[in-house]
Amino acid sequence: MKGLSSFEHVLEERIDQATALELLEKADLAVLGYLADQVRRRFHPDNVVTFVIDRNVNYTNVCVAGCKFCAFQRKPSSPEGYVLDTEEILKKVQELVDWGGTTLLMQGGLNPNLPLKFYTDLLREIKKHFPMVQIHSFSAPEIVYLAKIEGLTIEEVIKALKDAGLDSIPGGGAEILSQEVRSFLSPGKCTVEQWEEVHRTAHKLGLTSTATMMFGHIEKPEHIVEHLERVRRIQDETGGFTAFIPWTFKKGNTMLDHIEEASSVYYLKVLALSRIYLDNFKNIQSSHVTQTMQVGIVGLHFGANDLGSVMMEENVISSTNYKVSIPKVEDMVSAIRSAGFVPAQRDTYYNIIRVF
């Protein structure tokens, strides 16, 4: 492993893919953490760590994508398949508002029985009843699939969703942005180029989005670096990403259960590399959902300035064997303080709502 003296130059200049790969494969864990922490301090000298109060509503589990890592999906013919009706979703949003939440994250499967009108009608109803709620919903695979079944362009679909009330697009469905990995992992989902097109188009139309990465399965270190390069390039050109959010694959009821999950040490290395490489992203999120809160707050010393969300609901990762622990607001505040940071609640756009 290489020490700090071998990598101090990364604090002075934008690093290339070769340097990133060397950092991931050869740098000492403590060195990566130190470098990432220095970069974080540049972006956030006030030592504030943010979180959002949101609700993750999975409106359908019916999906034709067949991703090998997913335990949530059900085939269209499955008796376990469901679609939430509008009234049930509105009830969930009311509970979110009553709880002090600001962000609604709706994601679902690629359901061939749901036309674009289902989505636009739903968005209008939510905005009519809850105009203050920020709708951060529908990932790139969902949008690409809608364009396919409706015979529309990606831009036409995003415009229709935006006109109906969509505020922001989550980065889900990225997994690893390398077609080599994607062709095996999720062959029924949108391509790397289509994922990019959704986010570029959203940014062009005035919507923000997040970028994500789900790793710790079949990818190699060079695929992680390729992913980081792709999202950095998009951000250079559009500036539309609000944050980058890496998390790890969790097994249980998936087609990849034979794979050994990534260690917390590897997670922290990838998190730190993300902070160092993505020099045009203001916000990097640490994942307490897949890593536990104990590791999540360690991630705040490895480049992250955000601890994700206090979620009212989580169904996808919970479909595996992994036990998801959802913190309350006071738990999140206490955890951030215990790590030596100032806790603050934010909204979808990373605007501070209140400091604790």
139 is in an annotated binding site: yes
**What is the arithmetic mean of pLDDT over 64-78?**
86
Full 3-state SS string of 265-292 = HHHHHHHHHHHHHCCCCCCEECCHHHHH
Average pLDDT of the segment spanning 178-195:
92
190 is in an annotated binding site: no
The answer, yes or no, to whether residue 68 has pLDDT greater than 90, is no
- Is 69 marked within a binding site? yes
Q: Supply the DSSP symbol for 105.
A: E
Nearest by Cα to 243 from 292, 280, 193: 280
Query: Could you tell me the two tokens for 40?
Result: 């974080």
Q: Kindly indicate the confidence band of residue 44, based on its pLDDT and cuts at 50, 70 and 90.
A: very high
Tokens of 319: 């479909």
Give all strands (DSSP E) within 174-221, no chain letters. Answer: 208-215
| For residue 318, pLDDT beyond 90 | no
Amino acid (one-letter) located at 315: N
Q: What is the pLDDT of residue 280?
A: 98
Tokens 């934008």 sit at which residue? Answer: 14
Mean pLDDT computed over 285-298: 93
Consult the annotation and say whether 325 binds a ligand: no
Question: Which whole number is the average pLDDT over 178-207?
Answer: 95
What pLDDT is stored for residue 93 in this prediction?
95
Q: What is the pLDDT of residues 105-126, one digit of tens each?
A: 999 999 999 999 999 999 999 9
- Does 264 carry a binding-site annotation? no
d(CA 54, CA 74): 25
Greater confidence (65 vs 113) lies with 113
- Nearest partner of 281 among 230, 226, 242, 339, judged by Cα: 242
Residue 331 falls in which region: left (phi positive, over 0), alpha (psi -120 to 50) or beta = alpha
How confident is residue 131, by pLDDT bands cut at 50, 70 and 90?
very high
Does the pTM of the predicted model rise above 0.85?
yes
Sign of the Cα torsion 306, 178, 175, 351 reads positive
Q: Residue 283's closest CA among 318, 241, 316, 328?
A: 241
| Nearest in space to 211 (alpha carbons), one of 220, 202, 219 | 202
Q: What is the mean pLDDT of the chain?
A: 93
> What pLDDT does 356 receive?
96
Query: At residue 316, does pLDDT exceed 80?
Result: no
- CA distances from residue 250 to 37, 149, 178, 256, 316 in whole angstroms, order as listed: 27, 31, 20, 9, 10
Q: How confident is the model at residue 322 (pLDDT cuts 50, 70, 90)?
A: very low
Residues counted in the chain: 356
Mean pLDDT, range 191-203, rounded to an integer? 97
Q: β-pairing, 306-311 with 168-169?
A: unpaired
Question: Once rounded to an integer, what is the mean pLDDT over residues 143-166?
Answer: 98
| Residue 320's pLDDT band (cuts 50, 70, 90) | very low
Asked whether residue 334 is marked as a ligand-binding residue, the answer is no
Q: Is the pLDDT at 331 greater than 70, yes or no?
A: yes
Alpha-carbon span 136 to 54, nearest angstrom: 10
Task: Report strand pairing: 103-106 vs 134-135.
Answer: parallel
Residue 66 pLDDT? 82
230-269 pLDDT, tens digit per residue, is 999 999 999 999 999 999 988 777 777 888 888 999 999 9
Greatest CA separation for the chain = 60
For residue 353, CA distances in Å to 74, 83, 188, 349 come to 38, 33, 39, 11
175 is in an annotated binding site: yes
Q: What is the mean pLDDT of residues 144-152?
A: 98
Q: Hey, what domains does the chain have and what are their CATH numbers? A: 12-355 (3.20.20.70)
